[in-house]
Structure 1
Amino acid sequence: MKLAPLHAAKAAIESMSGDQVLHTVDGHAFIPMDDVWVVATPSGPASFNFNNLPGASPELRQQIKDVCRALLVSAAPSRASQALTAYRVLIRFLAEEMPGRAVEMISLRDVLRYGASLKAKELYKLRRLKEHLLLWVDLGIGGLDDDLLIRLPDLETKHHEVGAAVRTLDPETGPLTDMEYENLLSAIRNAFTEGKLTTSNYTLLMLAITLGARPLQLAMLKCGDFTVSARQDNSKIFILQVTRIKQGKGIRPRTIFRPRELAPALGTLIQQQCDEAREWAVAHDVAPEVAPIFLSDRSSINMGDIGLRGHHSGKSMAEKLRRLLKDLAVTSHRTGRKLHLFQSRIRRTLGTRAAAEGHSASVIADLLDHSWIDSSLIYVETRPAMMERIDKALALQLAPVAQAFAGTLVMRQDTDRGRIIHTATRSQLESVGTCGKHDYCRLAAPLACYTCTFFNPWLDAPHESLLDSLLQEREILANTADLRIAAVNDLTILAVADLVRKCGEMVGRATK
């Protein structure tokens, strides 16, 4: 873990006076002699309170402060923040073991005692503490005894268990099933169609789901990262350069990028976002190419100091995504409750769906921007089983929970004039309802209609015949093709089943 920049940072700091202003690696100014620092980072404001080191002697407190300021000027602020938290936890533990006695130096015995106090599922915390103490050792700053300096590199620790939510297909935090995923997409489209989502928020959600990007990556997107070019046939190519993060020690965001080609529909939406952002840039005297694609109406503390004026922080973007997803109120067919949605779960879903389609760990690592293939092996090892069988009884049972049907059931004679939707039976075309949009959406009618909010199906139309036909087709595909192909229309099946159930209830009430 030897880091050359740390030695240079330490030497530079030692030559400075205590009241001299320093700058983080991102460019934010702070005064090292202060006991509380609040610095801007891409993730959000990071606070360093050196008064909050209960039990530490004044000398040890100053040594911890020296470590943190060296890290701030040479590495990611998040590393300095995580290091301070780890040191604080250790010192608090030692102070509680020796009440009334100041901790003047950290020994190997202290670290081992702390490790022994951890529960089995918390043992990974010792590994993280070791990593942060090795940074301290690397800087050559006092406060660690000789025995710890010698034996710390060889101290055995345990890794944090990863992938449990994926491995167990946890219904609360794990990847979404295909049915939940399709329900989510349908809810987003319906919310946008009904005016409940702005174009900007719709674009953000679709990009987040399509790329599976981390909130910080979405927050840091600039107009200059987006380009539009043309192929020989004049069709457009939309490329978005997405900054890579978590690429190793000392590698800052917006230094390495991965190009992602976007589908034309999504690319056009991003182009509209950039046009709006450039207008903002002109009004705020900002170069258009550095304007954020997704503007924040309340940019975090001094984001302009680190080249991110107008941007969301990583934390605020994560909160925004969580809020937008929560407002969709999508129900899970597994639990009957509203889906608990957040961007990490969307990423897990992307990885799981890629594995189910047969992609390798290296392809999944590329999709999720993992630095190591090992992080993506969990998806290949846990290829989820598809729902192999949906019969009529199960479809009718799941339908009210899935809430896939989005239209309005009406009487044939009560509908306004509009485009009539037909379905093909063995003998003829049958009318099943009308389109309330009075327009051609170019989607595959009538199947796409049953999950559309504009659809006005008729009570007396042959919806049950369509349900039987879809179930029969699914069974044939399940026996002759891949289950993923067979499951393509599962959401439509549940929507039609829900409508059949509603028709039965309405007819039942009318005959009483």
Structure 2
Amino acid sequence: MNGKISLPAHPPLFDLDLNRTTRPSAQCGAFYWDGDTCVQIGQNRFNMEKALSNLNPTLVPSLKHHLISFTAQCDYAPASYGNLISAFRKALLTYPTSSFDSCWIAKALTVPTFHRIKNRILCFFLHWLERDNVMIDQSALSLLNGSAAHLSAPRNVLSDDPNKSWLTNEEYDDLLSVVWNNYDSGKSSTQVTLIKLLSMQYARRPVQIANLKIGDIQENDGSDKMSPIGKVILFPGSKDKGAEIGFRDSKFEPHSMADHLWNLCHLQYLEARALYEETLGLSLTDDQLKKLPLFCSEFRVRQSRQLIEGQNRLSLLRNLDSELFHLRRESVSKILTWENNFPTCEYGEAKIKYSLQQPPTSPRTGRTMVVTATRMRHTRARQLARQGVPLHMLSHWLGHTSEQTLVAYYNDPAEQARQLDETMAPALAPFAMAFTGTLIDSADQATRANDQTSKLEFARAGLLKTVGHCGKFSFCATTSVPIPCYRCRYFEPLVDAPHQEVLDALEQRQTAEQQAFKIGGLRNILIPIDLSADIRAVKSCIGRCNARNARNARNAASEK
């Protein structure tokens, strides 16, 4: 984005603010009843008609009233209240009951979604009991309180399941290529493409991507000491202890942006601006636009306007920063899992209907790759750990307050085996026979001396230099000739060829690959390439050439 739409630097996190420790303002009215449907404004509608149908008629009005009063306390995030209502509904549908007794509680605890948040449900029952002491008996509450916690499933980060664990380098590269190809060919919109790329680059949770505002894309001139200098994206945090109640109430996580993402954000800004001004019928200033989401849809804008101006009777311009304008977390999740290729910023009659696209085929399974936000997070963390990023830095980069949750990424037997191999390589090199070709003193000695296609050349400083010949008569499928040729037994290197230049180029490339990871790299987010085998082969070849030259020199001296 250009300077005209960049926000001022984000305020330092340690500014003195006497009100910073007060409880965030409550989001009153986030839930209400529409008949037997519990509505989470701008998010979900929970049809409870069938779930409530078997309850004692005297319990239903009390349940409805106290469920709303419980959500109004704002002790949890709105999404957490939504999960509670959903779990309650599931348990009532699975085990219909007329009253909440210990028998029903025992059955309800067999429902995983109910059992998983049993402590939250217990808090609701206690809230209800304080205001209506006939709704549940003490034995039922004791059973709920004394039951064992829900056992967590095995962590996918430790799994070797090719559909759950992190993506391999090959899978990651294939996925990245398909994302860009879909965008370049017009099969996916700017919005969908940018959401996927932000997930692949920064491994942020869907809710963090959904909560991004246009003003979170900034250019820091150095005045903000808490952010990197240059192009920056500020992700609103999530899951912070003590800051998981209000919308965007958590700390912000600043990250540098590469030019390709910055430019894509600028295109997204232009499309989003056109959508907002057309749908709202307003000409918005830059400051007003900064309050609006980076990602949105025509339906979401129209729905939010109706809720703000119609139901809540509030000023639209004073509520442009409302959570209502933002895409739901579930919408972002479905984009990241490739279930949806929408919503987009198109509007009106010109709205484009993008067909559903598929991720690439996984070479590990032979089936369509399974992609989720969680897998992407695990993959990115593993990549950074393998780059040698220290644990405390990775913890900060991923927005974790504890390093313990990331230890698994460093428990990497495959990487440890690679490092062991790298350490042992010098000792084992004489037995590895890295170079097995046949040295030749001139092109006339080559097996295919008369075949010009056998000549192998190395490009350096704009010039092609012959390093040897290929003694194989069949087509070679290598794509980076002549580097792999040094490990081929059919390679016939010239003794006086510039093999040292080949080695210098290889070592320079390897050094670049092993440098500390730079966040926001090139468009093709690089994964390290191991060139150690090629380097050993070229060194072996140079050693053989030097020995041959020394022997030739001795022979020439003795003849004199």
Shorter-chain TM-score tier? 0.5 to 0.7
Task: Identify which of 214, 217, 220 aligns with 1:223.
Answer: 214
Shift of 1:318: 2.0
Letter in 2 for 1:144: I
User: Normalised by the size of structure 1, how large is the TM-score?
Assistant: 0.63
Query: Contact (CA 8 Å) 2:336, 2:373: kept in 1 or not?
Result: yes
CA contact (8 A) 1:300 1:312 kept: no
Given candidates 175, 178, 183, the residue that maps to 2:169 is 178
Could you list the per-position Cα deviations for residues 79-123 of structure 1 after superposition, in whole angstroms to 9, with x for gaps in the alignment?
Answer: 33322333344445554xxxxxx522323x5434554x57xxx5x
Amino acid at match of 1:215: P
RMSD: 4.4
CA drift at 1:193? 4.2
Q: 1:175 deviation in Å?
A: 0.9
Measure how far apart 1:290 and its partner are.
1.8
C-alpha distance in 2, partners of 1:50/1:248?
A: 36
Report the alpha carbon displacement of residue 49 of structure 1 after superposing the two structures with TM: 2.0
Residue type of the alignment partner of 1:261: H
Identify the match of residue 104 of structure 1 among 84, 99, 102.
99
Distance in 1 (alpha carbons) for counterparts of 2:211 and 2:486? 44
User: Are the equivalent residues in 2 in contact too, given 1:187–1:330 (CA < 8 A)?
Assistant: yes
Q: Does 1:136 align with 2:131?
A: no
2:84 counterpart letter in structure 1? A
Using the alignment, how far apart are the partners of 1:93 and 1:29 within structure 2?
24
Aligned mates of 1:427, 1:269 — CA distance in 2: 34
CA distance in 1, matches of 2:62, 2:245: 25
Which of 333, 336, 339 pairs up with 1:321? 336
The 1:127/1:374 distance shift into structure 2, 3 A limit, reads farther
Provide the rounded CA distance (Å) in 1 between the counterparts of 2:123 and 2:218: 43
Contact 1:292 1:310 survives alignment (8 Å): yes
Structure-2 residue corresponding to 1:502:
none
Tell me how far 1:50 sits from its aligned partner: 4.5
What pairs with 1:352-391 in structure 2 (closer than 5 Å)?
352-359=382-389, 362-370=392-400, 372-381=402-411, 385=415, 388=418
Per the alignment, residue 255 of structure 2 pairs with 261
Which whole-Å CA distance do the structure 2 matches of 1:206 and 1:231 have between them? 26
Q: 1:317 to 1:342 in 2, by over 3 A?
A: same
> Cα deviation per residue 1:40-66 (whole Å; 9 max; x = unaligned)?
34xx32325244235321233334323
Do the aligned partners of 2:190 and 2:267 also contact (CA within 8 Å) in 1?
no
* 1:488 to 2:528 alignment: yes
* Cα deviation code 1:373-419 (max 9, x no counterpart): 44434333456548959xxxxxxxxxxxxxxxxxxxxxxxxxxxxxx
> What is residue 213 of structure 1 aligned with on the other side?
204
Is residue 484 of structure 2 the alignment partner of residue 468 of structure 1?
yes
> What is the correspondence of 1:271-282 to structure 2 with a 5 Å cutoff?
271-282=266-277
Q: C-alpha separation between the residues in 2 aligned to 1:209 and 1:245?
A: 18
Paired residues of 2:210 and 2:328 also in contact (CA < 8 A): yes
Contact 2:30 2:41 (C-alpha < 8 Å) held by counterparts: yes
Cα separation, partners in 2 of 1:366 and 1:161, compared to 1, 3 Å: farther
Q: Does 1:161 align with 2:177?
A: no
Q: Secondary structure at the match of 1:206?
A: helix
The verdict on how the C-alpha distance between 1:294 and 1:258 changes in structure 2, with shifts beyond 3 A counting, is same
Contact 1:243 1:253 in 2 (8 A): no
Deviation at 1:322, TM superposition (A): 2.9
Q: 1:463 to 1:81 in 2, by over 3 A?
A: closer
How many residues in Structure 1 have an aligned counterpart in Structure 2?
Answer: 390
Q: Distance in 1 between matches of 2:92 and 2:190?
A: 50
User: What is the SS of the residue equivalent to 1:302?
Assistant: helix
Deviation at 1:361, TM superposition (A): 5.1
Change (3 A) 1:465 1:295: same
Q: Are the aligned partners of 2:88 and 2:114 in contact in 1 as well (CA < 8 Å)?
A: no
List runs of 5+ in structure 1 lacking aligned partners: 1-7, 9-23, 96-101, 390-421, 432-458, 494-512
Q: 1:429 aligns with which of 464, 470, 476?
A: 464
In structure 2, C-alpha distance between the alignment counterparts of 1:350 and 1:26, rounded to whole Å: 38
1:397-412 equivalence runs, <5 A: none
Q: Give the 3 Å change call, closer, same or farther, for CA 240–104 of structure 1 in structure 2.
A: same
Deviation at 1:156, TM superposition (A): 2.8
| Percent identity of equivalent pairs | 19
Aligned 8 A contact 1:355 1:383 in 2: no
Q: Is the 8 A contact 1:277 1:291 kept in 2?
A: no
Segments of structure 2 that go 5 or more residues without pairing to the other structure are 1-22, 309-321, 342-355, 422-456, 467-474, 489-502, 516-525, 534-560
Match in the other structure for 2:353? none
The secondary structure found in structure 1 opposite 2:58 is helix
Q: TM-score, normalised by structure 2?
A: 0.58
Q: Could you report, residue by residue, the CA deviation over 1:164-208 in whole angstroms, capped at 9, with x for unpaired residues?
A: x22123211221012211222233334444454444443332222
* CA–CA separation in structure 2 for the residues paired with 1:157 and 1:262: 40
The 1:185/1:104 distance shift into structure 2, 3 A limit, reads closer
